[in-house]
Amino acid sequence: MADNLSEALKTLKLSSADSATDSVESCLDCLLKALAHNNVEASEKIQQMGVLPMMPSLLATQNSCTPKVANIIAEVAKNEFMRSPCVEAGLIPPLVQLLNCKDQEVLLQTGRALGNICYDSHEGRSAVDAAGGAQIVAEHIKALAQNTDPSTGKLLTVFCGMLMNYSNDNDTLQAQLISMGVIPTLVKLLGVHAQNTALTEMCLIAFGNLAELESSKEQFASTNIAEVLVRLFRKQAEHDKKEMIFEVLAPLAENDVIKLQLVEAGLVECLLDVVGQTVDSEREEDVAQLKTASDLMVLLLLGDESMQKLFEGGKGSVFQRVLSWVPSNNHQLQLAGALAIANFARNDGNCIHMVDTGIVQRLLELLDRHVEEGNVTVQHAALSALRNLAIPVVNKAKMLSAGVADVVLKFLQSEMPPVQFKLLGTLRMLIDTQADAADQLGTNRKLVERLVEWCEAKDHAGVMGESNRLLSALIRHSKSKEVVRTVIQCGGVKHLVTMATSEHMIMQNEALVALGLIAALDLDSAEKDFVGATLVQVLHKLLTEEKSAPEIKYNSMILICSVMGSEPLHKEVQSLAFIDVVSKLRSHENKTVAHQASLTEQRLTAQS
């Protein structure tokens, strides 16, 4: 074989470019045979003998040898080490030129050759780009899309593969294909050629690549992709095929328009079927498919319209099925069920309906199961759902009487920041406007100590911020001396003073109101902490800073008046010449601030 190959290569080098002689053809046949026998070895030999630079002239004249030459290049380019030499030998321009011919075999082998040269090769892609190859291939696909002849199917598969290799992992080239209008063409292909497995797979892989790009979503949304994919999904029995479709659905479903299209096309029913088929299985692929299907279900619920369509006023069969996941013994389904409830709980109407129909109890039972088992993602999801459900005012008392606060407090010992964050947010939502609950929680020493500890969680800004906000909320909503005393004794005052300097105005305000209540309800006990935390200096800064919002200035002045009953604080106020700062604020454009400045000035003057 090796001797025959050497002979054939020598003969080929001696042949004139335009001779479609029998000797050239038999040499090409010999090369193809050698490549089929041992591709790597034959390719190395072709490279060593310097035959590649001869190929452009063999391609330039179209004759019976042309498809064989293109086939040889396609076979050679299966080897990574041969792709750059193919580009350097100048093979790309003549190959791209061949894309203009009508002969199907030539087109097939040329498509293979270009596709293989582009595979994982920057040089190959750049050369094809420069020669305009992708545009011609895209036009061929568009022209042939409706043709269901088997040989055309094969050609379309090769062309789709070529475009995929050309653009894979390259955002610039993918964007180029999108601007050429490749997406509607491929969607049409998928619809027309659903019976052609190879072509279908090629389209799905191409979609998987393109769907990651944000600019593709709009084009996908203007096609019937949702319908086509759902129809295709229903036909699939094999795990691998379903997985391929899932890989396209996931990035597409991030787009709200497509979410609704997928829901309307019946994807949800397909997903529920997958869950039903895989929930009791322990096979690895079934476990993976259950996760993918339930995750996708949750993703569809992130769109407002798609979510509301599935909620159907709380009567929707999909909504009911998803609820049944919560008490399941499968962690993945518990997680998806809790996340789905959190997503359904995105408007007051839904939240009120869900609380009235007993969903809180299911979530509490789920959380109780995970105090010991401790699955962090399930804890986080269930707490998220409870937090959302607690937003409407009418739900708060109902949820408190259902024992939500008691169950949530069981997670106070959690060392997981995501759980800590949701726990804090849930409690803060629950006590909003609920004085008794704020009083009860605010005198719970264990809780307040933990909050003070978390107020120092510098590595977790979210937990730190929420701890401060809950500490302030306990005081603001209870207006209780006992709560104030508990916060003082646990060392919370300094954190509230720091919170007053936050970059978020809402947090500054919450802190100032809480500090005002501390000063009004138990100034004597707080005096030492106020001095230690340099409260007066902080207030001076807030009043002198231009950027401080009117309500910040207003609440700072209220607080100044409240601390005047303390001798050391009074002295600090005098030493910082507050009267000058306040008198300037009398002409503030905000009338409430100006009025409070007058009152504060009178108070300071009277007590100086």
* Domain-ending residue, one of 532, 565, 589: 532
List the one residue out of 66, 59, 28 whose CA is nearest residue 46.
28
Looking at the fold, whether 487 and 555 belong to one and the same domain comes out as no
List the one residue out of 345, 431, 344, 334 whose CA is nearest residue 379.
334
| Residues 104-141 as b or e (16 or more Cβ within 10 Å = b) | ebbbbbbbbbbbbbbbebebbbebbbebebbebbbebb
Q: What is the dihedral of CA 398, 444, 511, 415, to 10 degrees?
A: -90
Q: Radius of gyration (Cα) for the chain, nearest Å?
A: 36
pTM above 0.75, yes or no: yes
Q: Which residue is associated with the tokens 């503030």?
A: 588
Beta carbons within 8 Å of 313's beta carbon, 6+ residues apart: 353
Looking at the fold, whether 472 and 562 belong to one and the same domain comes out as no
For residue 366, being part of any structural domain is answered with no
Calpha distance 488→533 (Å, rounded): 12
Looking at the fold, whether 545 and 512 belong to one and the same domain comes out as no
Looking at the fold, whether 483 and 557 belong to one and the same domain comes out as no
For residue 3, being part of any structural domain is answered with no
Q: Cα dist. 179→54, 55, 171, 218, 425 in Å?
A: 36, 33, 12, 12, 45
Looking at the fold, whether 554 and 476 belong to one and the same domain comes out as no
Count of Cβ atoms closer than 10 Å to residue 28 Cβ = 21
* Domain-ending residue, one of 474, 504, 532: 532
First to last CA, the chain: 110
Q: What is the pLDDT of residue 357?
A: 93
Looking at the fold, whether 465 and 514 belong to one and the same domain comes out as yes
Amino acid identity of residue 196, one-letter, is N
Q: Which residue is associated with the tokens 């046949």?
A: 29
Asked if residue 335 lies in contact with residue 329, where contact means CB atoms within 8 angstroms, the answer is no
For residue 45, being part of any structural domain is answered with no
Calpha distance 277→295 (Å, rounded): 16
For residue 36, being part of any structural domain is answered with no
For residue 4, being part of any structural domain is answered with no
Looking at the fold, whether 471 and 497 belong to one and the same domain comes out as yes
Beta strands in 523-603 (DSSP E): none
For the chain, how long is the longest CA-to-CA vector? 117
Looking at the fold, whether 452 and 488 belong to one and the same domain comes out as yes
Calpha distance 161→156 (Å, rounded): 8
Amino acid identity of residue 567, one-letter, is E
Looking at the fold, whether 563 and 594 belong to one and the same domain comes out as yes
Calpha distance 380→292 (Å, rounded): 19
- The SS3 of residue 51 is coil
List the one residue out of 506, 423, 409 whose CA is nearest residue 457.
423
* Domain-ending residue, one of 505, 532, 559: 532
Inter-helix orientation angle 505-532/550-563, to 10°: 20
Backbone angles phi, psi at 158, to 5 degrees: -65, -45
Backbone angles phi, psi at 239, to 5 degrees: -60, -45
Looking at the fold, whether 501 and 587 belong to one and the same domain comes out as no
Amino acid identity of residue 472, one-letter, is S
In DSSP notation, 192-238 reads HTTT-HHHHHHHHHHHHHHTTSHHHHHHHHTTTHHHHHHHHHHH--S
**167: alpha, beta or left? (left if phi > 0; alpha if psi -120 to 50):** alpha
Looking at the fold, whether 438 and 528 belong to one and the same domain comes out as yes
Range of the domain at 480: 434-532
Tally of domains within the chain:
2
Beta carbons within 8 Å of 489's beta carbon, 6+ residues apart: none
Amino acid identity of residue 540, one-letter, is H
Looking at the fold, whether 584 and 505 belong to one and the same domain comes out as no
Asked if residue 533 lies in contact with residue 493, where contact means CB atoms within 8 angstroms, the answer is yes
For residue 182, being part of any structural domain is answered with no
Q: Average pLDDT by consecutive 10-residue portion of the chain (608 residues)?
A: 70 60 83 92 91 89 90 96 96 96 95 97 96 96 93 95 94 94 94 92 91 90 95 89 92 94 95 93 92 95 93 90 93 95 96 96 95 88 97 97 96 94 97 96 97 92 96 98 98 97 95 97 96 96 92 96 93 89 92 95 84
For residue 199, being part of any structural domain is answered with no
For residue 33, being part of any structural domain is answered with no
**Two tokens at 327?**
């008490």
